[in-house]
Amino acid sequence: MRVLVTGGAGFIGSNLVDRLLADGHEVAIVDDMSSGSNRNPEAALHAIDVRDPALADVTEAWRPEVICHLAAQISVRTSVADPVHDARVNVEGTLNVLEAACRAGARKVVFASSVAVYGRPAVIPVPGDAPTDPRSPYAASKLSGEVYLSAYRALHGLEYTTLVLSNVFGPRQSPEGEAGVVAIFTDALLAGRPTILYGDGSQTRDYIFVEDVVDGFARACGTEGNGRRFNLGTGVQTTDRELHTLVAAAAGAPDKPGLAPARLGDLPAMAVDPEPAREGLGWRPRTDLATGLKATVAWALSRLSTTRP
């Protein structure tokens, strides 16, 4: 199968490219390289923005059967500060991908959405059919992408599967910018720098290892899950304080975070129900948090050893 991965040099995208190549697929990458740096040399790289009209020509020349669309503006805070930029990347960019997919005769688009579309859910773990309640421009732009996927399926017969991602962590995640807290804790603890918990440390999140996420994408590239959305998470809530203890243990570092006031707008709790993905994709999370953290710390240590003089 020929697969085009947008954002294929980024954290999740590069891990997905590796998995698809290992499965024997032909893979091409579209990435503007503004933040991604993990390009697999076995996959052809097209260094363009997903908003670029040239995407249609690139896609038509490659003629992928499936497009995995992960390229995005991912910062909630950036989306609040500049919602127009967020929409241009996440809405206009997704539309450009869908137009390119139709022109190239692609069979399917697999779309990376976010738990942000649920807002402040009434039930946790959030079921797959929970109502959406976007509370930031980023969440609104992701939900817009889901709506456009449905419209293009109705209009053009372009199949899709939407994967709603919880808090993904693992090797290659950068601690810079709008990074996940696992990467931030890992980088600071290995460097002996202070770490911070916001509020009393009781905020919860659902942490899913990147290898499990890319397994979901790989499965969705087939015919399973057409026209559906699935949560990719564990359904398990882990507090910030518990997470810090686990990362510190994996890093062999002191478990002594500092405290800071809670940040306005942070959700108190989040976890998603992965059961529909088991039924619809044959997918389930396989990596427990402690095991995933050990692999993440090992990768971070290997990266440090190659960058030190």
Which of 241, 234, 219, 225 is CA-nearest to residue 275? 234
Could you identify the residue written with the tokens 């990376």?
112
Going by the DSSP 8-state scheme, the letter that residue 63 receives in this structure is: -
Catalytic residue among 118, 138, 152, 160: 138
**147, 90 contact by CB (below 8 A):** no
Cα–Cα distance measured from residue 124 to residue 122, given in angstroms and rounded to the nearest whole number: 7
User: Is 138 marked active-site?
Assistant: yes
Q: In whole angstroms, how far apart are CA 217 and each of 12, 52, 93, 94, 141?
A: 10, 24, 20, 17, 21
Residue by residue, DSSP assigns 76-110 as HHHHHH-HHHHHIIIIIHHHHHHHHHHHHT-SEEE
Residue type, 123: V
Q: Active-site residue numbers?
A: 138
